Structure 1
């Protein structure tokens, strides 16, 4: 039996060859350098020539080899971001802010999730550095020693987000989680609540908010808050389940501060199902002022932060550094505020 050669195809099929930059240049009647400029530095090409070349690129289905261009310029125009989870709206806004700003600067965004694991973060950092990304955005300021070493030797700009420290790896944009927790504790105490609970996981940012809540109550010589621990990454169901645990194990609790609005919304739904009056029997407060916060019944009191602004600011920091421009504020504290609604 005759064997097919590498250039033979099955009957009825059409041989496929990738369209090259040279093919586009010949079709448009320009040099391949002009095609490269249209792709990489369109501002250096006249509008008429740019429009003609872009039309041929679109009609011919040409896809630029970005890796080849990156090797030539030592830039890939790719930024990587690492978040704890991509299924949670609390981080989705940060990703949206990053993506919108970076796309406007003609950078692409790669995304990885750690599921709150330091080992997973280290693996992602190594993978992204190996793919020669131009910069990295990390969530939080606590990382393994190996991750810090990899970033130190990589020599690329890094922005940490969603927290504050006076000793960032490179640049930082976020807010003080401990102070935000303390502000909520002070607010709930002023409203007359004395037996409080914090509902959240044991991630560093959540624990900082719990610590802040506890410090606020100890300063008033009030009872220490209880910590109702939940699995990280759980959402509405966790909030609903927590209500039963509070009633059974901590019936004295009169206010609960949740590590995010989605969990608090689940608790609000369960209180409504049980006929439990909010805030008369149990006050509820969330975190982040997500879209769901004002929509549940009753509307949620929450700590407002701007995940979108965190992402946009991180992107602008990276682009400024990559353009060899000075970053005026390498540590950017975006702050927070308490939004009071009916749930407290």
Structure 2
């Protein structure tokens, strides 16, 4: 098990800054007589150590806060909402509630949220993804509580992980399309550094088409995440205008894939007769679209449930496996006109 590091104390900050612990305490409070220069020195020391001032320490020194902090990229994404629901369903019977913040796909905002959430001294913190700013990572490493990264399999996890490889998942989609005889395959989305999971899916696409000896230039940018149906339709229009011989397209999400599907229908282009379309996420809209969308189910509710069970085990002094991998299920539907592909299991 990857254990939580010992949280730095106010004494540690005082020693690093060369001041007394009382001065450190006053430096973090408004309306005190601590000079600006000393405040800067204390802030720099705290930043180097990953220390977060506990604004409620005097009240909570002998109490539990009974909440778990959670950050997600978006509050209107059904997949992330299901993950939060899974977390809540497992934590609630133990008297634990969720304090939720959303990052808007911005790592700088994630850093600010992590700092703010840690000042409330949660019992644990769950973050989405495995890529963070250096300071956010330092704060998490020194939080002194269970940390769980989700929706990813980071190369260098902070503590605990419940997730999957977005790149490997999309490679399976490419393999499926190649098995269907497609050789001119495009990818819509994942061109921005903001959505790190989308970027990994794009990387998986490039890795797979290179492995199959196919062209890697059929990449359509769509802008700032989250990618909407409207943006998916616009991207598909651009693809059809510039590379009309494309035989199949993988979209970064089911929402953008649905937009791509409707653009084809607007132009009278048969799906899957003239072009195949696949998405990611197994959203409801992909299940009821005509034709239904081939996609990958990342099991978002299970991600939340497993993260919650891992947290409870850690709080109970147990030693669960720190890296818990989930394999998304490939759901082959009519939009790629293929036969079901066996799921390798989870």
Interval containing the TM-score (normalised by the shorter chain): 0.7 to 0.9
Residue matched to 1:208: 200
The separation in 2 between residues aligned to 1:143 and 1:72, in whole angstroms, is: 30
Residue matched to 1:191: 180
Does the CA contact (< 8 Å) of 1:213 and 1:225 recur in 2?
no
Ranges of 4+ aligned residues in structure 1 off by more than 6 Å: 67-70
SS of residue in 2 equivalent to 1:280: coil
SS of residue in 2 equivalent to 1:242: helix
Residue matched to 1:297: 290
- 1:209-258 deviation per Cα after TM superposition (whole angstroms, max 9, x unaligned): 11212222212211115221222113211122222111112222221111
Residue matched to 2:167: 178
Does the CA contact (< 8 Å) of 1:283 and 1:343 recur in 2?
yes
Does the CA contact (< 8 Å) of 1:82 and 1:137 recur in 2?
yes
Residue matched to 1:248: 241
The separation in 2 between residues aligned to 1:337 and 1:88, in whole angstroms, is: 19
Q: CA deviation at 1:70?
A: 7.4
The separation in 2 between residues aligned to 1:189 and 1:90, in whole angstroms, is: 28
The separation in 1 between residues aligned to 2:88 and 2:264, in whole angstroms, is: 37
Q: CA deviation at 1:72?
A: 5.2
Change (3 A) 1:335 1:69: farther
Residue matched to 1:62: none
Residue matched to 1:226: 218
The separation in 1 between residues aligned to 2:276 and 2:58, in whole angstroms, is: 57
Change (3 A) 1:110 1:221: same
What runs of 5+ residues in structure 1 fail to find an aligned partner? 1-66
Residue matched to 2:315: 322
The separation in 1 between residues aligned to 2:160 and 2:226, in whole angstroms, is: 27
| Alignment size in residue pairs | 277
Q: CA deviation at 1:146?
A: 0.2
SS of residue in 1 equivalent to 2:148: strand
SS of residue in 2 equivalent to 1:221: coil
Residue of structure 2 aligned with 1:107, choices 96, 108, 128: 96
Residue matched to 2:276: 283
Residue 228 of structure 2 corresponds to residue 235 of structure 1: yes
- Flag the structure with larger Rg: 1
The separation in 2 between residues aligned to 1:73 and 1:323, in whole angstroms, is: 18
TM-score, normalised by the number of residues in structure 1? 0.77
The separation in 2 between residues aligned to 1:69 and 1:191, in whole angstroms, is: 64
Q: CA deviation at 1:167?
A: 2.6
Residue matched to 1:124: 113
The separation in 2 between residues aligned to 1:324 and 1:286, in whole angstroms, is: 41
Does the CA contact (< 8 Å) of 2:248 and 2:277 recur in 1?
yes
Change (3 A) 1:209 1:88: same
The separation in 2 between residues aligned to 1:301 and 1:245, in whole angstroms, is: 22
Residue matched to 1:52: none
